[in-house]
Structure 1
Amino acid sequence: MLLSTQTEFFGKVYGDAVAIRMIKAAGFDAFDMSFFEMFGDKDYPMNGDNWRDYVCSLRAVADECGIVCNQAHAPFASSAGDEEDDKRRFAAIVRSMEAAAMLGAKVIVVHPKQHLPYTTCKDALFDMNVQFYRSLLPYCEQFGIKVACENMWQYNRAAGRIIDSTCSRPEEFCAYLDAVDSPFLVACLDIGHTALTDEELPYFIRKLGKERLQALHVHDNDLHGDDHTLPFTRRIDFSAVTAALSDIGYAGDLTFEADNFLRPFPQPLHADAAHFMCCVGRQLMCMIQG
Structure 2
Amino acid sequence: MNVSTSLNVFDAAIPRTEAVRRCAAAGFASLDMNYWDFQKQVLHMSEEEERAWARDIRASADEAGVRFTQMHGPVHGPTFANLVLELTLDAYERLVERSLRTAHILGVPWVVFHPSNLSVDGGESYEQTLEFNVRFYRKFVPILEETGVGIALENMTGHRQARTYFTVPEEQIELIDALDHPLVGACWDTGHGHKMSLNQKEAIAALGSRLKATHIQDNNGTHDQHVLPYQGTIRWDEVAQTLKAIGYEGDFTYETHNSIRTLPDGIRDAGLTYACSLGHYIISL
Q: Could you say whether these structures have the same fold, taking a TM-score greater than 0.5 normalized by the shorter chain as the test? A: yes
From 125, 128, 133, give the equivalent of 1:129: 133
Structure 2, gaps ≥5 residues long: none
Q: Give secondary structure in 1 for the equivalent of 2:39.
A: helix
Deviations 1:188-226 (CA, angstroms, capped at 9, x unpaired): 1111101111111111111111x2111110000000000
Q: Structure 2: which amino acid aligns with 1:25?
A: A
Instruction: Go from structure 1 to structure 2 and tell me whether the alpha carbon gap of 1:39 and 1:113 turns closer, same or farther (over 3 Å shift).
Output: farther
Which residue pairs with 2:181 in the alignment?
Answer: 182
- Structure 2 length-normalised TM: 0.91
Which residue pairs with 2:18 in the alignment?
Answer: 18
Which residue pairs with 1:224 in the alignment?
Answer: 222
- Structure 1 length-normalised TM: 0.90
Indicate conservation of the 8 Å contact 1:153/1:164, yes or no. Answer: no
Q: Structure 2: which amino acid aligns with 1:239?
A: D
Instruction: Go from structure 1 to structure 2 and tell me whether the alpha carbon gap of 1:207 and 1:214 turns closer, same or farther (over 3 Å shift).
Output: same
Which residue pairs with 1:264 in the alignment?
Answer: 262
Which residue pairs with 1:160 in the alignment?
Answer: none
User: Following TM superposition, by how much is the alpha carbon of 1:113 offset from its aligned partner in structure 2, in angstroms?
Assistant: 3.4
The answer as to 2:89 corresponding to 1:86 is: yes
CA distance in 2, matches of 1:30, 1:154: 30
Indicate conservation of the 8 Å contact 1:11/1:18, yes or no. Answer: no
Q: Structure 2: which amino acid aligns with 1:75?
A: P
Instruction: Go from structure 1 to structure 2 and tell me whether the alpha carbon gap of 1:64 and 1:141 turns closer, same or farther (over 3 Å shift).
Output: same
Structure showing greater relative contact order (alpha-carbon pairs closer than 8 Å, 6 or more residues apart): 2
CA distance in 1, matches of 2:42, 2:53: 15
Deviations 1:164-200 (CA, angstroms, capped at 9, x unpaired): 6332112111111111110010011111101111111
* Aligned residue pair count: 280
Structure 1, gaps ≥5 residues long: 158-162
CA distance in 2, matches of 1:205, 1:75: 24
CA distance in 1, matches of 2:14, 2:233: 31
User: Following TM superposition, by how much is the alpha carbon of 1:233 offset from its aligned partner in structure 2, in angstroms?
Assistant: 0.9
CA distance in 1, matches of 2:214, 2:158: 20
Q: Which runs of 4+ in 1 moved over 3 A?
A: 37-45, 117-121
CA distance in 2, matches of 1:62, 1:245: 26
Indicate conservation of the 8 Å contact 1:34/1:72, yes or no. Answer: yes
Cα RMSD of the aligned pairs, angstroms, is: 2.1
The answer as to 2:229 corresponding to 1:240 is: no
Which residue pairs with 1:197 in the alignment?
Answer: 196
The answer as to 2:105 corresponding to 1:107 is: no
User: Following TM superposition, by how much is the alpha carbon of 1:42 offset from its aligned partner in structure 2, in angstroms?
Assistant: 5.9
Q: Structure 2: which amino acid aligns with 1:7?
A: L
Give the percent of matched residue pairs that are identical in Structure 1 and Structure 2: 29
Q: Give secondary structure in 2 for the equivalent of 1:186.
A: strand
Indicate conservation of the 8 Å contact 2:47/2:98, yes or no. Answer: no
Instruction: Go from structure 1 to structure 2 and tell me whether the alpha carbon gap of 1:22 and 1:44 turns closer, same or farther (over 3 Å shift).
Output: farther
Instruction: Go from structure 1 to structure 2 and tell me whether the alpha carbon gap of 1:80 and 1:171 turns closer, same or farther (over 3 Å shift).
Output: closer
The answer as to 2:8 corresponding to 1:8 is: yes
Q: Give secondary structure in 1 for the equivalent of 2:226.
A: coil
CA distance in 1, matches of 2:278, 2:118: 35
User: Following TM superposition, by how much is the alpha carbon of 1:112 offset from its aligned partner in structure 2, in angstroms?
Assistant: 1.3
